Amino acid sequence: MKIINKLRLPEDIKKLNLNELEDLASDTSKLILERISKIGGHLASNLGIIEITLALHYVFNFPKDKVVFDVSHQCYSHKIFSGRVNEFSNHEEYKNASGFSAPYESDYDSFCIGHTSTSISLGLGLARGRDAQNENYNVISIIGDGSLSGGISFEALSNAGIYNKNFIIIVNDNEMSIAENHGSIYKNLELLRKTKGEAKENYFKLLGLDYKYIEEGNNIEVLIREFKKLKNIDHPIVVHIHTEKGHSYKYAVEQKEKWHYSPGFNIETGEFLASKGNYFGGVTRDFLIKKLNENKNMRIITAGTPLVIGFNHELREKYNDQFIDVGIAESHALAFATGLTKAGAKTYIGLNASFMQRGFDQFAHEIAINKLPLKILVYGSGIIKNNKTHQGIFDVAMLSNIPNLVYYAPTTEEELLNALELQFEDDKNPIAVRIPKGLEVHAKNYVYKNTFFEFNKYDVLGSDKEIVLIGVGDTYFEVEKAKELINQKLKRDYVIVNPKNITELDKEFLDSLNNKTKFVITVEDGIINGGYGQKVASYLSKYKIPTLILGVDNEFVDMDQVQNIYKKYNLSADELLKIVESLIK
């Protein structure tokens, strides 16, 4: 480190000369590289924006002035400059700074944010809130080119275009979304880059905004000079800055998509440390490829996250007509997919559970009311090792309460393939499949039954109905493990249930518990309210069978190891054993 350890941050930044600023940028880059190489993170975007962030800290007066980072996965250097160096230099303290902006960490962070395209809305809100409070400061929103495909950013720009006070919108254009960009808006950005901002056709000017182009987006001197001119500007302006994603780390520059988000890696070689990956994601991808080959009218839609579905660059090239990435635009993706389905194409849409929240209205309206057999693949559902903004805990409460929509939560590879096959064949209902997470699993006692009817029946194991445990999706394995522990310790063969279809209750089975069952325990890895357990408890109410509902209890789930979170909410086998023990005492 050349300089960073000698500085008090943020106070000292404004005192540095250019060489020192460059040293600080270089040190910052190293800290970020080091942290992500150890615990994973968004490398390429963070390396590309260090100079912009440093110039902002040099010119503006945070936290009086406000900055909003879109998605905020690129805020690492901002955290370092605003006094969180230890959280990036000391492995022990990594956990004290999340990978996203976090007001609970620092007043320098405006919002806890993890989804795209909202920074202009939030910034415009701050600006008009400032006006309402009769205050006086700069508001800066930073948005990546990849987020401009999201409709909210357009809604916000169109409103910023009729606003008339201080508001600075920095478009950080690194020519990339998570994968490549999609949509004609990117042709305009390309034209603007090529003409150094001079082209007459200008999306931002058309929307009534002042506009400035900066070509050297990784040059601190240039950025400081230009930002000084913008400080205290009396109207909204878009500052379009050309940066290099992955800047200063050659592997990231060469392979930007791979390095958008990385697990730990070897800095010297650029090799990712063994990442377990998602086994079931691979199973699903292979299923999809087989079906794509067999069905020329099949289409797969994604919204900016092709790798989530396992479609790397080569597969996207190969299935060019059949795999459609619409860019980051989840609402459009869902309505668009509805249209394809209506026209008769076998249509899939694959999204992360957390990003799917963008489409509640499309699920309820376009898809469910029209009851079209769109095939929905839900990735990253339930509890995952991720920030609270990326947890998938709302998927069941969101999807399973909408009429006409069917939601399957398979557990094993056999069940997953069964669910995918049923989904593929069905031409009557929109069906969502919750892709299991984690490692290869085959349920020991699983009997493969390839009929739709059976899929609506619970899989039931065990002979003693005194206590019944129902495990939704991935939590079923904890229930299965708990069954073994109970067998060993309590010598009881309590019944366990895998519901599979979580929009249905197997009423025949539940009816059979009448006068037999003392307790039912439901286990799920999502929010309890609106989830599956409450449906079971409500149904069993008439039989006076007490139902203990386990899941996430009315709070947001923070980043942790999945097993720790399971333990916290009593979803793990050990905790389930304890609960059963206490119930039969």
Range 137-166, binding a copy of itself (CB under 8 A): 149-162
Q: In what order do the strands lie in the sheet with 406-408?
A: 323-325, 298-302, 346-352, 375-379, 431-434, 406-408
**Which residue matches tokens 């449906």?**
535
Q: Would you say 460 or 548 has its CB closer to a copy of itself?
A: 548
- C-alpha to C-alpha distance for 227 and 223, rounded to whole angstroms: 6
Residues 502 to 521 in contact with a copy of itself, rule: CB under 8 A: none
33 or 396: whose CB is closer to a copy of itself? 396
203 lies in the binding site for a copy of itself (CB under 8 A) = yes
Residue from 11, 250, 276, 403 in contact with a copy of itself (CB under 8 A): 403
Ranges within 542-571 binding a copy of itself (CB under 8 A) = 542-549, 554-556
Q: In the complex, what is the shortest distance from the CB of residue 357 to a copy of itself, in angstroms, rounded to a whole number?
A: 4
9 exposed, middle or buried (CB, 10 Å; 0-12, 13-18, 19+)? Answer: middle
Positive or negative, the Cα torsion across 270, 271, 272, 277? positive
Q: How far is CA 516 from CA 107, 465, 480, 492, 549, in A?
A: 57, 6, 21, 15, 19
Q: Per CB under 8 A, does 170 bind a copy of itself?
A: no
Length of the chain: 585
Give me the 244-283 binding string for a copy of itself, x by CB under 8 A, dash otherwise. Answer: ----------------------------------------
Q: Shortest approach of a copy of itself to residue 156 CB, angstroms?
A: 5
Site string for a copy of itself, 470-509 (x = CB under 8 A): ----------------------------------------
C-alpha 70/C-alpha 62 separation (Å) is 17
Q: Which residue has the tokens 């409709």?
A: 151
Smallest distance, Å, CB 57 to a copy of itself? Answer: 21
Q: What Rg do the C-alpha atoms of the chain give, in angstroms?
A: 26
**Is 219 among the residues that bind a copy of itself (CB under 8 A)?**
no
Label residue 165 exposed, middle or buried (CB < 10 Å: 0-12, 13-18, 19+): middle
> Six-digit token pair at 516?
């037999």
Check residue 389 for interaction with a copy of itself (CB under 8 A): yes
Cα 452–Cα 456–Cα 462 angle in degrees, nearest 5: 120
Of the residues 193, 205, 385, 481, which one makes contact with a copy of itself according to CB under 8 A: 205
User: CB-wise, 242 or 299, nearer to a copy of itself?
Assistant: 299
- Beta-carbon contacts of residue 511 (< 8 Å; ≥ 6 apart): 543
**Binding status of residue 63 toward a copy of itself by CB under 8 A:** no
Nearest to 101 by CA among 76, 118, 119: 76
111 forms part of the interface with a copy of itself (CB under 8 A):
yes
161 vs 270, beta carbon nearer a copy of itself: 161
Selected from 214, 252, 402, 550, the binder of a copy of itself by CB under 8 A is 402
From 54-62, 178-186, 436-444, 572-580, give the range in contact with a copy of itself by CB under 8 A. 178-186
Which span sits near a copy of itself by CB under 8 A: 4-12, 43-51, 264-272, 359-367? 359-367
Q: Which of 117, 145, 138, 28 is nearest to 79 (CA)?
A: 28
Nearer CB in complex with a copy of itself: 365/385: 365
State in angstroms the smallest separation of the CB of 74 from a copy of itself.
Answer: 18
Prior bond of 306 cis (ω within 30°): no
Residue from 26, 255, 404, 456 that binds a copy of itself (CB under 8 A)? 404
Alpha carbon 28 to chain centroid, angstroms: 26
Pairing of strands 459-461, 494-498: antiparallel
The bridge status of strand 547-552 relative to strand 167-173 is unpaired
Residues 315-354 as x/- pattern, contact with a copy of itself by CB under 8 A: ---------x-xx-x-xx--xxxxxxxxxxx-x-------
Cβ–Cβ < 8 Å for 264, 273: yes
Give Cα 370 distance to the centre of its chain.
27
Minimum distance of a copy of itself from residue 116's CB (angstroms) = 10
Considering only residues 361 through 380, tell me which ones interact with a copy of itself, judged by CB under 8 A.
361-362, 364-366, 368-370
Sorted by sequence, the CB contacts under 8 Å of residue 133 that are 6+ apart come out as none
Residue 206 makes contact with a copy of itself by CB under 8 A: yes
Q: How far is the CB of 132 from a copy of itself (least distance, A)?
A: 4
Number of residues that bind a copy of itself (CB under 8 A): 117
CB-wise, 46 or 338, nearer to a copy of itself?
Answer: 338
Q: Whose Cβ is closer to a copy of itself: residue 154's or residue 446's?
A: 154
Using CB under 8 A, pick the residue from 535, 569, 575, 579 that binds a copy of itself: 535
Q: Does 110 bind a copy of itself (CB under 8 A)?
A: yes
> Which of positions 183-202 make contact with a copy of itself (CB under 8 A)?
183-185, 187-188, 200-202
CB pairs under 8 A, 24+ apart, for 339-347? 340/299, 340/301, 341/372, 341/373, 341/374, 342/370, 342/372, 344/297, 345/297, 345/298, 345/299, 346/291, 346/295, 346/297, 346/298, 346/299, 346/375, 346/424, 347/298, 347/299, 347/300, 347/301, 347/374, 347/375
Q: Which is nearer to a copy of itself, 13 or 71 (CB)?
A: 71
DSSP string over 274-298: -----HHHHHHHHHHHHHHHH-TTE
- Residue 225 or 518: the one with the smaller Cβ distance to a copy of itself is 518
For the chain, the distance separating the N- and C-terminal CA atoms, rounded to the nearest angstrom, is 61
Sole binder of a copy of itself in the list 298, 308, 431, 433 (CB under 8 A): 298
Residue 305: CB minimum distance to a copy of itself, A? 15
List the beta bridge partners of residue 240: 171, 213
Q: Name the β-bridge partners of 432.
A: 376, 407
Nearest to a copy of itself of 129, 282 (CB atom): 129
Nearer of residues 21 and 353 to a copy of itself, judged by Cβ: 353
Residue 240 binds a copy of itself (CB under 8 A): no
